[in-house]
Structure 1
Amino acid sequence: MTPPPSPSPPHSPFSGFFSVFRYSRSALTLVWETSRWMMLGLALCTLVAGVLPAVAAWVGQLIVDGVVAAMESYQAASSPSLLETLTPVLGLVALEGLIIALIALAQRGLSAQQSLLRAMLGNKVNVMILEKAGTLSLGQFEDSELYDKLTRARREASTRPLALVNKTFGLLQNAISLASFGFLLVQFSPWALLILVAGALPVFLSEAKFSGDAFRLFRWRSPQARMQMYLETVLAREDSIKEVKLFGLEPLFLQRYRDIFNRLFVEERLLTLRRESWGFILGLLGTLTFYAAYGWVVVETIVGALTLGQMTMYLMVFKQGQGALSASLTAISGMYEDNLYLSNLYEYLEHPTDVEEGHLTQGVAPGDGLRFEHVSFSYPGGGEVLHDISLHLMPGSSLALVGENGSGKTTLIKLLTRLYHPTKGRILLDGSDLKSWDTQALRERVGVIFQDFVRYQLTVGENLGVGDTQAFEDEQRWQQAAHNGMADEFITRMPSGYQTQLGRWFKNGQELSGGQWQKVALSRAYMRKNADILVLDEPTAAMDAAAEAEVFARFREHSRDKMTILISHRFSTVRSAEHIVVIDQGHIIEQGTHESLLEDNGRYASLFHLQAEGYR
């Protein structure tokens, strides 16, 4: 398997290269917003570390020439005392020592501030990613392309902004050093600068080219890498390991994991070998140019055009200049690569979201209840899941939805909670379209338990508290909700009661049975005191018959003045609803009371008798 071809080249050979740097400003702004003082500190340390190496080289020349002059003066007949001879040279040595200490201090300052910024910025970017996730709709989360963007952003982008800023300051530092070195080298010969550039440029072009290849490989492999992450999760999570072991899936999934790695590694190995081979070959050019300049300076010194101190300075300046230029070009190449990866972050952050424009906190016809008017729904690129659904549920009434798995029952609930929007038709609450309602106000009125409810790795009380974030830590509300949901019976027997850690991810965590988890989820729905729409999607599938009967007895008691919607395959539960709707492949095929539907002798009656036969 090979990566797809690269995109068509831009008009100019370098326009694509330079256009990708548009994210540099965003990264600098991001770091500035994270900590202005640290960014100013980075700038100061960069300036010091950039200027002082050239100053140190110049002082080094003065020391060598001073030593030569002192030796000649001391050996002459009219020489002054040894102390007078040494004092100027030793002063220069002390000055160079001070300069070297300041350079070391600046480097330590850079290192310390970069380390602190790395932690702060990593957290800031991760928070930005999660905040953006909070604005995405359920449909967008189910879009595989957007999910790939999210995965790429989380894997790389949290470290790239600081890396880009570090390289930017490193480039600035090396540019300052180069300007200082260039000022000294041009006094030797302008050709020395040309040699300096010629030695470093080929490696730079090579690195830039392979950075782009590496980024394209990274994007191409995102779906496969996500499958690897999924297989890791399945093979190492307590909620899947039971089936993995019982069905003997370890060898199958591990082999698939290895196969994905092998496919990806072939491309990565080829890219790495090409990158390092060309880097070595082109790097030799830089070495050759340095030694050519080395020989030139030596010859000039031998013929008397340069002093010994000047020779020492020029060799040092040329060597350090070559290193600074190489580091600058490498930084530019790295900045190019960081910008490529930052495009993942900003593609994700700039992804358009569904704008919620609703502002209503109450409907225009209070007491009218819930209406579905000719509602249809289709997934993007798929067929209709619901077709022409019309229902009316008044306050204090109950509705049961019956149908085979995949008939559209749960999708109907997702439309009610505005996780999805109807493709056609509209849904009204108290006479106002759901689109006109404030999202928070709407969802405060709905208490829902989905059949795939979340088992939070939190304490028992917090597992209840998530049902109403305003009462997240209200223990009195926990206890009342647990009583209504019949969870208090087993919670009081747990080691730390409502403070008991649930799940196996953390120390001393307790695992619950399926039925106990369902009671926790049911209690979670009771946390919403303001909810006048209660939705139970298969709420007792894991409970025994006696527990189920008591759950619904309490449910009827607490929902007398509320609108209730029940999804269940158990007709002993369904028959208690005032109105029953039978859905088949997204269509309402029957509706009425339990008695009227039995009299009609249609699908409902057939399913009811089929289930009743199993209990005889």
Structure 2
Amino acid sequence: MPSSRQPSSSSSVPSSSAATSPLSGFLGVFRYSRRALGLVWQTSRWMMLGLALCTLVAGVLPAVAAWIGQLIVDGVVSAMDAHQAASNPNLLASIAPVLTLVGIEALIIGLIALAQRGLSAQQSLLRAMLGQKVNVMILEKAGTLSLSQFEDSELYDQLTRARREASTRPLALVNKTFGLLQNAISLGSFSVLLVQFSPWALLILVVGALPVFISEAKFSGDAFRLFRWRSPQNRMQIYLETLLTREDSIKEVKLFGLEGLFLKRYRAIFTQLFAEDRRLTLRRESWGFLLGLLGTLTFYLAYGWVVVETIIGALTLGQMTMYLMVFKQGQTALSASLTAISGMYEDNLYLSNLYEYLEQPVEPENGTLTQGVAPGDGLRFEQVSFSYPGSADVLHDISLHLAPGQSLALVGENGSGKTTLIKLLTRLYRPTQGRILLDGSHLQEWSTQALRERTGVIFQDFVRYQLRVGENLGVGDTRAFDDEQRWQQAARHGMADDFIGRMASGYHTQLGRWFKNGRELSGGQWQKIALSRAYMRQNADILVLDEPTAAMDAAAEADIFARFREHSQQKMTILISHRFSTVRSADLILVIDQGHIIERGTHEELLKAQGRYAMLFQLQAEGYR
């Protein structure tokens, strides 16, 4: 649903400029220009040097062409006078110098066109290369963020803003920078010519262009504030598009008749955002038109001035032509320069989104251990508690010990904290209190790679990769991603080899409906794929199964757990399940309620205690009678 929040000035520009003057805030935003230039330099040094060369040529030669144009006009007038005054005129001698100048001007125009083509070609190539580089930077940063950061809606807003604009803004900023340099060179060249006419001409040139620049800068800031404010609405639109177009959601959407409801909400968000865009666009273009008239007025004032000076004989016809051309091109160059500065300001604002995301703090990975100080001690939770930022504890004072060769089952209602405990074990979260030890060493002291290699996990909400069957297994161990022998071995352990063998392309069958000839699996088959994926980790001695057979029938479940017990000897195994038939054989069962361990023991011990476990077991047993 559209947010009711209003745009805040505090989000309009980076915070460092919030407490300073408007001018210093405006200038402070340009600190991202250096980073953008650095990105282009890293992407292709030769292309950046080519841009600089083409910019120099395209900046200097227009003034030279205007000066040559003056010489041509004055040369034509002189040749006409000489031709008429001579009794025996030599036409070739009269027109040869003028034709030479025409050839020189043609060459200059050709060089300008070549430079402009060079700029266009290099910008087009850099656009693709730089867009790829920035997108890779965004994805690489995502790989360093913690799970808790991904669960923060504010970070998703930052990620959405960065991905929508930041892949194109660096090159746009660099193009404007070189465009500004080109126009500055042209202005310098034109100024040399104009000052010979009158220094006041330069002042008229500047006064005519400033109002439009101020207007554009102001509305660029407004557009950026609007962009930041409505990130949640844009994200909601993307989410609604996903619900209405993805095969994993469209079944329920159609069954419940949600198309109309979601489309109505989608249209409502667009209507709100479009109304804001329309107001901003109309104001921007209206003020741009009115202020642009001032520039047009100043040009024609200068036009009249030059014409009067020519009529009274102060200027030659060639000088008049040159000054009119120079003033017009100078006004265009100055307007383009100020527009480029305004655009650079806007691009810098949008680049702040990219670097705001890229500079997200990352939890340091200081662990280096590949072996604990007490090998064989197993896994220990010592008075572990955990809470999400701004909320109460999800887990309270959890203590347990799991030795190699032992199995642990976690039982409790949904939301009791079972899966959170597993995320702490796999170091996706860090405890807010207490500590977790593996073989006597604190979990944070372990190398991330070593810890992940020792852990094989299948979560209840496992990912159904739109990849080939074998690759769906191979993601369990990236070192064996393409190892077909390992695929087959893991599939046998996960009991997926039977239905894989019946597929026409076997392990090379495309899964999912996103790509051509993709095949969709049943829920139980997908769970076997996920189980097999966990078995890809041959060195894993901590096996965690979170509701691994929820979509399987009783016979398949029995076979899966028989195979699992055989495979998990001398390993530490943790099982989360609501089916008591699967947890009763565990060496230790923990009953968790609202983050607390309220019971612990074997199946028989817990039945004798006549507590929560016994009650739940009896309720489930009644369903089979």
Q: Does the pair score TM above 0.5?
A: yes
Q: Cα distance, 1:577 vs. partner?
A: 0.9
Secondary structure at the residue paired with 1:458?
A: coil
Residue 276 (str. 1) matches residue 279 (str. 2) = no
Of 157, 167, 174 in structure 1, the residue corresponding to residue 166 of structure 2 is 157
Structure 1 spans left out of the alignment, 5+ residues? none
Residue 577 (str. 1) matches residue 586 (str. 2) = yes
Q: Cα distance, 1:78 vs. partner?
A: 4.2
Give the equivalent residue in structure 2 for 1:176. 185
Q: Cα distance, 1:57 vs. partner?
A: 0.3
Q: Cα distance, 1:220 vs. partner?
A: 0.2
Q: Distance in 2 between matches of 1:5 and 1:579?
A: 54
Give the equivalent residue in structure 1 for 2:419. 410
Q: Distance in 2 between matches of 1:478 and 1:5?
A: 54
TM-superposition CA deviations, 1:188-229 (whole Å, max 9, x none): 000000000011000000000000000000000001111111
Q: Distance in 1 between matches of 2:426 and 2:621?
A: 33
Q: Distance in 2 between matches of 1:505 and 1:121?
A: 28
Distance 1:605 1:10, change over 3 A: closer
TM-superposition CA deviations, 1:60-90 (whole Å, max 9, x none): 0000001111111111134541111111111
TM-superposition CA deviations, 1:522-567 (whole Å, max 9, x none): 0000000000000000000000111110000100010011000000
Residue 129 (str. 1) matches residue 138 (str. 2) = yes
Q: Is the 8 A contact 1:178 1:324 kept in 2?
A: yes
Of 7, 12, 17 in structure 2, the residue corresponding to residue 4 of structure 1 is 7
Of 477, 482, 495 in structure 1, the residue corresponding to residue 486 of structure 2 is 477
Q: Cα distance, 1:144 vs. partner?
A: 1.1
Q: Distance in 1 between matches of 2:618 and 2:6?
A: 57
Q: Cα distance, 1:6 vs. partner?
A: 2.1
Of 229, 243, 264 in structure 2, the residue corresponding to residue 234 of structure 1 is 243
Q: Distance in 2 between matches of 1:4 and 1:452?
A: 37
Secondary structure at the residue paired with 2:416?
A: coil
Of 50, 54, 78 in structure 1, the residue corresponding to residue 59 of structure 2 is 50
Q: Cα distance, 1:241 vs. partner?
A: 0.4
Q: Distance in 2 between matches of 1:394 and 1:175?
A: 73
Q: Cα distance, 1:4 vs. partner?
A: 2.6
AA paired with 1:6? S
Q: Cα distance, 1:5 vs. partner?
A: 4.1
Q: Distance in 1 between matches of 2:613 and 2:360?
A: 45
Residue 314 (str. 1) matches residue 323 (str. 2) = yes
Distance 1:487 1:79, change over 3 A: farther
Residue 532 (str. 1) matches residue 556 (str. 2) = no
Q: Cα distance, 1:9 vs. partner?
A: 6.7
Give the equivalent residue in structure 2 for 1:115. 124
Of 63, 72, 92 in structure 2, the residue corresponding to residue 83 of structure 1 is 92
Residue 265 (str. 1) matches residue 274 (str. 2) = yes
TM-superposition CA deviations, 1:76-122 (whole Å, max 9, x none): 13454111111111110000000000000000000000000000000
Of 346, 359, 363 in structure 1, the residue corresponding to residue 368 of structure 2 is 359
Secondary structure at the residue paired with 1:580?
A: strand
Instruction: Give TM-score, length-normalised by structure 2.
Output: 0.98
Give the equivalent residue in structure 2 for 1:167. 176
Q: Distance in 2 between matches of 1:39 and 1:463?
A: 42
Secondary structure at the residue paired with 1:187?
A: helix
Residue 428 (str. 1) matches residue 437 (str. 2) = yes
Give the equivalent residue in structure 2 for 1:613. 622
Residue 37 (str. 1) matches residue 41 (str. 2) = no
Q: Is the 8 A contact 1:73 1:79 kept in 2?
A: no
Distance 1:90 1:500, change over 3 A: same
Q: Is the 8 A contact 1:458 1:502 kept in 2?
A: yes
Of 383, 388, 398 in structure 2, the residue corresponding to residue 374 of structure 1 is 383
AA paired with 2:423? K
Q: How does 1:481-496 map to 2 (within 5 A)?
A: 481-496=490-505
Of 287, 305, 308 in structure 2, the residue corresponding to residue 296 of structure 1 is 305
TM-superposition CA deviations, 1:284-305 (whole Å, max 9, x none): 0000000111111111101100
AA paired with 1:387? H
Q: Cα distance, 1:173 vs. partner?
A: 0.1
Q: Distance in 1 between matches of 2:436 and 2:5?
A: 48
Q: Cα distance, 1:10 vs. partner?
A: 4.8
Q: Cα distance, 1:483 vs. partner?
A: 0.7
Of 349, 355, 372 in structure 2, the residue corresponding to residue 346 of structure 1 is 355
Q: Distance in 1 between matches of 2:293 and 2:6?
A: 31
TM-superposition CA deviations, 1:334-391 (whole Å, max 9, x none): 0000000000001111111111111100100000000000000000001110000001
Q: Is the 8 A contact 1:2 1:267 kept in 2?
A: no
Distance 1:393 1:2, change over 3 A: closer
Alignment size in residue pairs = 616
Give the equivalent residue in structure 1 for 2:14. none
Give the equivalent residue in structure 1 for 2:403. 394
Give the equivalent residue in structure 1 for 2:475. 466
Q: Distance in 2 between matches of 1:110 and 1:165?
A: 12
Give the equivalent residue in structure 1 for 2:256. 247
AA paired with 1:391? L
Distance 1:448 1:9, change over 3 A: closer
Q: Cα distance, 1:591 vs. partner?
A: 0.8
Q: Distance in 2 between matches of 1:15 and 1:279?
A: 24
Distance 1:5 1:152, change over 3 A: closer
Q: Distance in 1 between matches of 2:367 and 2:559?
A: 39
Secondary structure at the residue paired with 2:591?
A: strand
Q: Cα distance, 1:493 vs. partner?
A: 1.0
Q: CA RMSD in A?
A: 1.0
Q: Distance in 2 between matches of 1:473 and 1:456?
A: 15
Q: Distance in 2 between matches of 1:327 and 1:287?
A: 14
Distance 1:221 1:196, change over 3 A: same
Give the equivalent residue in structure 2 for 1:92. 101
Q: How does 1:7-26 map to 2 (within 5 A)?
A: 7=10, 10-26=19-35
Secondary structure at the residue paired with 1:103?
A: helix
Q: Is the 8 A contact 1:446 1:534 kept in 2?
A: yes
AA paired with 1:526? Y
Give the equivalent residue in structure 1 for 2:314. 305
Residue 596 (str. 1) matches residue 599 (str. 2) = no
Residue 225 (str. 1) matches residue 228 (str. 2) = no
Q: Is the 8 A contact 2:8 2:229 kept in 1?
A: no
Q: Distance in 2 between matches of 1:447 and 1:11?
A: 53
Of 537, 559, 569 in structure 1, the residue corresponding to residue 568 of structure 2 is 559
Q: Distance in 2 between matches of 1:310 and 1:422?
A: 80
Give the equivalent residue in structure 1 for 2:554. 545
Q: Distance in 2 between matches of 1:316 and 1:499?
A: 68
Give the equivalent residue in structure 1 for 2:13. none
Q: Distance in 2 between matches of 1:427 and 1:313?
A: 81
Q: Distance in 1 between matches of 2:20 and 2:28?
A: 12
Q: Cα distance, 1:11 vs. partner?
A: 4.1
Residue 336 (str. 1) matches residue 345 (str. 2) = yes
Of 491, 500, 507 in structure 2, the residue corresponding to residue 498 of structure 1 is 507
Q: Cα distance, 1:34 vs. partner?
A: 0.5
Distance 1:10 1:294, change over 3 A: farther
Q: Distance in 2 between matches of 1:216 and 1:495?
A: 55
Secondary structure at the residue paired with 1:186?
A: helix
